[in-house]
Amino acid sequence: GLRAAQGLSATDRAELLATADESLATLSTLVTDLLDVSRVEAGVLAVSASRVDAAGPVLAAVDELGLGPSEVDLALDPALPALFADPVLLQRVLVNVIANAHRHAPEGSRVLVTTSRLGERAEIRIVDRGAGVAPERRDRIFQPFQRFGDTDNTTGLGLGLALSRGFTEGMGGTLTPEDTPGGGLTMVISLPLAAGPADTEGTE
């Protein structure tokens, strides 16, 4: 293999190395994810929850994925009180769920991320207009290594949603799939609002 590589152009060599790099990055992500899955399942995931403004992890996740306004539409409730969550874990959940929605969103459509209050909980919804998931298959999308017939290698090994649900439940929340009205899948992350004195911002 390497001897043959001597006949490759610099571009070809660079491409081969990039592919090797990418595979390695994928593998290390996978190993980390596997460790996280086993920690979640063993109930030993360290959660350090604190008061978090939902907009922070949402914006950080979108930024981490490198998505712009043409790909993600944000409708964040400015009056939403602080949630009680682990900002690092919440960002990981959002990165996974938004990436998943973006992957399944039809060409030219945007993923919508909304935040709202429902009673004593906050809901972060990630809405796509993709093919959706039949109700009887919804539990399976959270099992590790479910790939739903995806044949391209860019989709990874499907640990994302298993981890996301584990992380969300570790923070006292839930991650639930619903139909997007008009077609598609909406993932609802529900988390408790932070207890304690109401925020005094905006009341002067």
Q: What is the pLDDT of residue 46?
A: 73
Whose CA is closest to 110, among 176, 174, 162, 180? Answer: 180
Q: Structure tokens of 68?
A: 């712009």
Q: What is the pLDDT of residue 39?
A: 67
Whose CA is closest to 175, among 191, 193, 159? Answer: 191
- Report the C-alpha gap between 149 and 163 in whole angstroms: 20
State pLDDT tens for residues 25-40.
Answer: 767 766 676 666 666 6
- Report the C-alpha gap between 121 and 54 in whole angstroms: 12
One of 3.30.429.10, 3.30.230.10, 3.30.565.10, 3.40.50.150 is the CATH number of 48-192, namely 3.30.565.10
The pTM of the full predicted model, rounded to 2 decimals, is 0.74
- Report the C-alpha gap between 107 and 91 in whole angstroms: 25
User: What is the DSSP secondary structure assignment for residue 84, as one 8-state letter?
Assistant: E
Q: What percent of the chain has pLDDT over 90?
A: 48
Domain locations in the chain? 48-192
Q: What is the pLDDT of residue 40?
A: 67
